[in-house]
Amino acid sequence: MDYQDFLYNKINIGSDKGFKPLYIPNCLFDFQKSLVDWATWKGRGAIFADCGLGKTLMQLVWAENIVRKTNKKVLILTPIAVAYQTIREAEKFGISECEHSRSGKHTHNIVITNYEKLHLFNPNEFSGCVCDESSILKNFDGAYKQSITQFMKKIPYRLLATATAAPNDYIELGTSSEALGYLGYMDMLNRFFKNGNNNSGASRQFGESVKWRFKGHAEEPFWKWICSWARACRKPSDLGFEDMDFKLPKLIENEHLVESNNPTEGYLFEMTARNFREQRAEKRRTIQERCQKVAELVQDHEQSLIWCHLNDEGDMLTRLIPDSIQVKGGDNDEQKEEKFLAFASGQVKRLITKPKIGAFGLNFQNCSHITFFPSHSYEQYYQGVRRCWRFGQKNDVTVDIVTTKGEIKILNNLKFKSKKADNMFQNLIENMNDVLQINKTNNFTKKEELPSWLV
């Protein structure tokens, strides 16, 4: 490789300017038309829209516009089993040039595959790329983030779509910006933030967590910059449209504290786990009691989505709960997809799996009962709940959180992160609306009189 090739491989190419949409079907709601119109004009952008707002359809319409403009193909990357949902959406709304490819081979204009299969595809064959559930990019050091960002470098048109753009901290938005070809993660930090050492040059090293804060007078420019390449909404009215039927049913969250039959060695009564090591030990020590409680809870519901974190939890739940199936990490992609689709169609009444396997992108509106063992990951909890509690759900959704007295700190931390994430997303929307002048009305009610000397 000569020096010119080296430089070429380093740069991002692609237009910051898209084009006037060539295809806006009537099946889109007004707010969806607005988002697709913006994303197509932009060329490279992000849609941060909540679960059930139709991101899949918007992605497909955006991809169809890129195909018609460039006469080249578009690749849509999705989590496991979401590809089939995307194909069904395409068929439902008459977008016929779609196919699901697991091998890297393709004949249609819109190609859909799982993130795990990205290495099988050649970026030179595509003029556009969509990342569904793009929060996968938030991991600063993650292999997925690096491979996706590298894959998209030479693709001119790019779209990111997710409901949890930055689940814990809005500085994670920098990884999305980098994937789109705008400011890199560290460039963003250096421009808008200072770290705890009161400088902007240090980065995360050896797993160290660095607290970042805005530089003086940098907050408003930061939101304007985000607004230049992203749009966010949790409901249509966030973008200035009527909410219509986009109203969520009631969410009922119940907490169940179970007591262990085997107290911690050396203690007369249960103690709160103080650190990660003790919390892991607490989880393993109380597997049987927690799983038995879940088995009791699901008896009162027609269909249940059961989240776990440990292999031993999943195996025990499968033994305790009749007519249940488990989606394991050891299952191949075809097996996972088959089980997820069986649950989505109502053929399976109890689905047991881990959030890191099935909490992203899947639509389980048919189910209105969820059980959850809490962890420190707010994103896993949010996405796990939103598989069922989403726009289009007809029933109230019940979430049974099963934990122990020893895990109280985990549950409290999850609640803290939930409030923080809600506040952050609301601030994101408000700042964007302020920049875009959305929902801004001027009520001039006070009569002013000119001074006599000016008259």
Task: Please choose, from the candidates 89, 124, 126, 92, the residue with its C-alpha nearest in 3D space to the C-alpha of residue 111.
Answer: 126
pTM for the complete prediction?
0.83
pLDDT at 61 over 90: yes
pLDDT in tens, 153-177: 889 999 999 988 876 677 788 889 9
d(CA 3, CA 76): 32
Q: Decide which of 337 and 434 is more confident.
A: 337
d(CA 214, CA 220): 10
Q: Sketch the domain layout of the chain as residue ranges.
A: 10-239, 251-414
| Burial of residue 216 (number of CB atoms within 10 Å: 0-12, 13-18, 19+) | exposed
User: Looking at the domain covering 10-239, what would its CATH class be?
Assistant: alpha beta
d(CA 379, CA 389): 15
CA 385, 407, 386 angle in degrees (round to 5)? 5
Mean pLDDT of the residues in the chain: 85
Q: Most confidently modeled of 139-143, 324-328, 408-412?
A: 324-328
47-56, 152-161, 270-279, 379-388: segment of lowest average pLDDT: 270-279
pLDDT confidence band for 263 (50 / 70 / 90): low
Instruction: Compute how many other C-beta atoms are within 10 angstroms of the C-beta atom of residue 190.
Output: 17
Instruction: Compute how many other C-beta atoms are within 10 angstroms of the C-beta atom of residue 313.
Output: 23
Q: Which runs of consecutive H residues, i.e. helices, occur in 43-172?
A: 55-70, 82-92, 143-152
Please list, residue by residue across 43-68, b when 16 or more beta carbons sit within 10 angstroms of its beta carbon and e when fewer do: bbbbbbbbbbbbbbbbbbbbbbbbbe
Indicate if 251-414 has the same CATH topology as 10-239: yes
pLDDT in tens, 182-237: 988 888 998 999 886 655 554 443 334 567 888 888 888 888 888 889 998 999 99
Q: Average pLDDT for residues 271-278, to the nearest whole number? A: 70
Whole-number pLDDT of residue 47 = 95
For 207, residues 6+ apart whose C-beta sits below 8 A from its C-beta are none
Phi/psi class of residue 107: alpha, beta or left (left: φ > 0; alpha: ψ in -120 to 50)? alpha
User: How many CA atoms lie within 13 Å of 269's alpha carbon, on the beta-carbon side?
Assistant: 1
User: Looking at the domain covering 251-414, what would its CATH class be?
Assistant: alpha beta
- At 322, give phi and psi (nearest 5°): -65, 155
pLDDT in tens, 135-157: 888 765 577 788 999 999 889 99
Helix 143-152 vs helix 173-180: angle between axes, to the nearest 10 degrees?
Answer: 30
